[in-house]
Amino acid sequence: MAPPNGHAAVTAGQCLVLLTPTAGKRVLFVGGKGGVGKTTVASAIAVAHAGAGSRVLVVSTDPAHNLGHLWDLAVADSPTRLRTEPGAGWVDGMEIDPAATLDRHLAAVEKTLRRLLPERMHAQAREHLQLAREAPGSFEAAVLERVAEAVELGLNEYDLVVFDTAPSGHTLRLLALPERLSAWTDRLLASRDRSERFASAMRGLASGRDQSTEDPDAELRRTLIRRRERFSRMQSVITDAALTGFVLVFTPERLPVAETLGIAESLGELSVPLLLLVANRRSPIDGGELLRARHLRESEQVRRVRESLPETPVIDLPLAAEEVVGGDVLAAFAAGRIVAS
C-alpha cells in the first residue's frame, strides 16, 4: 500500500511496492486511459519481477506501440530479449503487429477456403475476404488471436506475461471478445451440424444408402473447434483471480479518475479481477510550493479512488526527475532511485 496522503510517495523499496501486490500471478494486464504511463508501469513491473529471478514476457497490444521506444530497442512481433538480470531473470518484449496479424489470419482462412470450395468460387471467396479485412471487429478478432497465443506462450515458457494494453475502450472490447466469440462459434457449429445432418439425409435418400459418416467440412470444423477451445481457455485465464490480475493506471486528476472508476466497473461486469490501482506521476510534497499544491490536490483524487474501490490496493509512483527510457533507467525507476527533484 502507498504511504498515507501527505507523505513522500517513494522510498528505496519501490521495487517491492510493484512486486509484492503482483507476486504469484502468471498474467497481468496493465491498462487505463491513454497517456497515463501504462507502458512505463508495465515495463517497471516486468523489471521488478525479472530482478527477483522471474522469466517475464511483456507484450504491447496498443496499435500506437511505445514499448520499443521506452526500452530504446527494436521490438518485433515475436519475443525479443530486452534485459537479463544478474539473478537469472530476464525480460522479453513483443509488439503485436495488427496489420501482420490480420494478414496472417485472413491468409489462413483463404487457404482453408480454397481447399473446401470449388475452383469457380475462389475469386468470390477472395473478394469476400478483402471486404472482411475492413469489416468492424476484424482487427479486434485478429489481435485477440495473438493475445490468446501470447497468454499460452506465457503460461508455457515464462513465469509471468505482462500485457501493455491499448487505451481503455479498446482493451475492454478486447477482453469482452473471448466469451462472445466462443458463444458465436458454438452457434455456428450447431447450425452447421443441423445443415450437415439434413444434407446427409438428402444424399442418402437420393443414393439409397446412408452417407451420414461423410464430412466434407471436417477441416473447417476442426478449425472452428480449435478457435472455440482457445477462446474458452483464454476466458478461463482472464477471469481466474489466482492466475490473472488487472493493474489499472491513472494520473491523480479529476477526469482520469472518473474514467478509471468507469473502467473498474466494466472490469467487474466482465469478471476480470482488478488487482492493483497505480496513481502515476505523483508530485512530491517537498518540491516547492507549486508541487506541494499539486500534491495536495492529487491526494484528494487518490482518496476518491480509495473510497470508491476500498477492496483494491492503491500505490503511488513518482513524477520522475528524468525521462524514463532504456532498461537501466527503468530498473532504477522500479527500484525507486528516480524521483522528482
Instruction: Quick: pLDDT tens for 198-214.
Output: 444 444 444 444 444 44
Contacts of 119 (CB under 8 A, 6+ apart): none
Q: How confident is the model at residue 151, as a pLDDT?
A: 94
Q: Contact, 182 vs 231, CB < 8 A?
A: yes
Q: How confident is the model at residue 287, as a pLDDT?
A: 85
Q: Label the pairing between strands 55-60 and 90-95.
A: parallel
Residue 137: count of CB within 10 angstroms of its CB = 13
Q: Label the pairing between strands 90-95 and 80-84.
A: antiparallel
Cell of 127: 473478394
| pTM for the structure as a whole | 0.80
Alpha-carbon distance 38 to 80, whole Å?
20
Alpha-carbon distance 154 to 174, whole Å?
18
Q: How confident is the model at residue 198, as a pLDDT?
A: 40
Q: How confident is the model at residue 190, as a pLDDT?
A: 58
pLDDT digits (tens, 9 = 90+) for 104-114: 877 877 777 77
Sheet holding 160-164, edge to edge: 80-84, 90-95, 55-60, 160-164, 27-32, 244-250, 274-282, 314-318
Stretches in the chain below the pLDDT threshold 50:
1-12, 192, 195-214, 216, 340-341
Q: How confident is the model at residue 216, as a pLDDT?
A: 47
